Structure 1
Amino acid sequence: MLEARTPNRAAYSPRGPVARPGSRRDRGRGSERGSSSVEFAILFPIIVALLLAGPQLALWYFAREAADAAAHVGARAASVHGAAGGAGQAAADTYLARLGTGAITGYSVTESDTATTVSVHVTASVPNVIPLPGFVPTVDVTVVRGKERFTTPDSP
């Protein structure tokens, strides 16, 4: 006589088989408890840094462009024939002062010249958006331009 086998209903649920404590299916499940909070704790600072990297890069780029433009204005003013000493530094200072202090928190402008060239160096501090210790974003731009001078065929 054949006996009909009935499945053990205690071992199955509507969603599938239920793992019995100590069985092969149950192994490793207890070790995953709390893993999502550990993963979140590890990944959260990285995600925040990546989210703040965009605005930080935009501020740095704007400050770099502003410092470059100020250095070009200063070099142009200092390279004019008969320009007074410090004209380039004054022109770059005026340009950066008009720009405002939103994108540049502090700056310094230096001018140096030789008989044939003038050099304007601008260093600017950028606001820090990313709270990392020791991270101080700055821009450093130098523009060198030839001085205007009149020559004759006898003197080059």
Structure 2
Amino acid sequence: MLTGARRVGWLVRTVARARSADGENERGSTSLELAILFPVLLLVITGLVQFGLWFHARSLALVAAEEGVTAARTYHSGEGAATARARQFLDNNAADTLADITVTASRSGAERIRVEVTGRALSILPGVPGPAVAQSAQGPVERFTTAGDP
């Protein structure tokens, strides 16, 4: 039977032997874990950055479409004013963020205007095109009416 001091000494020696045995068997495991996890971590970070660029480009396209609708809604304005205003906004704010930009404006009847902005977001991977972006906005056109006219 082991006494108190001997029992503690025996326990410490047993734990030390177990630790040294485990350490020898797991030599290099940290390097292997990092070699497996690091590319996954880089892929996740790249995906998050690409998503952020796409979301920013999408927001800029939506604001440009809204600017175009605002310009085309005024009395005696047309589709040309909508595309010009949207292009001006994109040239001033999204020159480096959106590529292959197209702006189209169309009227449905004399009462509504619709502006659509499409393009591609900036890509952080060389040779890979960025994700597509398409946003549109629409609104009623200002017009004068007479009493009894809808």
Q: TM-score, normalised by structure 2?
A: 0.72
Equivalent of residue 120 in structure 1, options 98, 108, 115: 115
In structure 2, runs of 5+ residues without a counterpart are: 1-12
Tell me by how many angstroms 1:132 deviates: 9.8
Equivalent position amino acid for 2:53 in 1: L
- How many pairs were matched up? 137
Query: RMSD value over aligned CA atoms?
Result: 3.3
Distance 2:76 2:126 in 1: 48
Task: Report the 3-state secondary structure (helix = DSSP H, G, I; strand = E; otherwise coil) of the residue aligned with 2:146.
Answer: coil
- TM-score, reference length from structure 1: 0.69
Q: Where does residue 5 of structure 1 map in the other structure?
A: none
Q: CA deviation at 1:107?
A: 1.4
Write the mapping of 1:88-107 to structure 2, written as runs, cut at 5 A: 88-107=82-101
Aligned partner of 1:110 among 104, 108, 115: 104
1:39 partner letter: E
Question: Is the alpha carbon distance of 1:16 and 1:34 closer, same or farther for their aligned partners in structure 2, counting shifts above 3 Å?
Answer: closer
- Structure 2 residue aligned with 1:153: 147
Counterpart residue identity of residue 118, structure 2: T
Does residue 80 in structure 1 map to residue 74 in structure 2?
yes
Is the 8 Å Cα contact of residues 79 and 106 (structure 2) preserved in structure 1?
no
The percentage of counterpart residues that share the same residue type is 31
Q: Give the letter aligned to residue 58 of structure 1.
A: G
- Encode CA deviations 1:45-67: one digit per residue, 9 max, x unaligned: 21002223343233223212211
More helix by share: 2
In the alignment, the residues of structure 2 paired with residue 117 and residue 100 of structure 1 have an alpha-carbon distance, to the nearest angstrom, of 27
Of 88-97 and 77-86, deviating more is 77-86
Cα deviation for residue 133 of structure 1 reads 9.2
Q: How does 1:12-31 map to 2 (within 5 A)?
A: 16-17=16-17
User: Which whole-Å CA distance do the structure 2 matches of 1:136 and 1:152 have between them?
Assistant: 50
Counterparts in 2 of 1:70 and 1:53: CA distance versus 1, 3 Å = same
Counterpart residue type for residue 82 of structure 2: G
Query: Which of 1 and 2 has greater Rg?
Result: 1
Unpaired runs of at least 5, structure 1: 1-12, 19-25
Correspondences of 1:59-74 after superposition (within 5 Å) = 59-74=53-68
Letter in 1 for 2:113: V
Query: Structure 1: how far apart are the matches of 2:89 and 2:40?
Result: 38
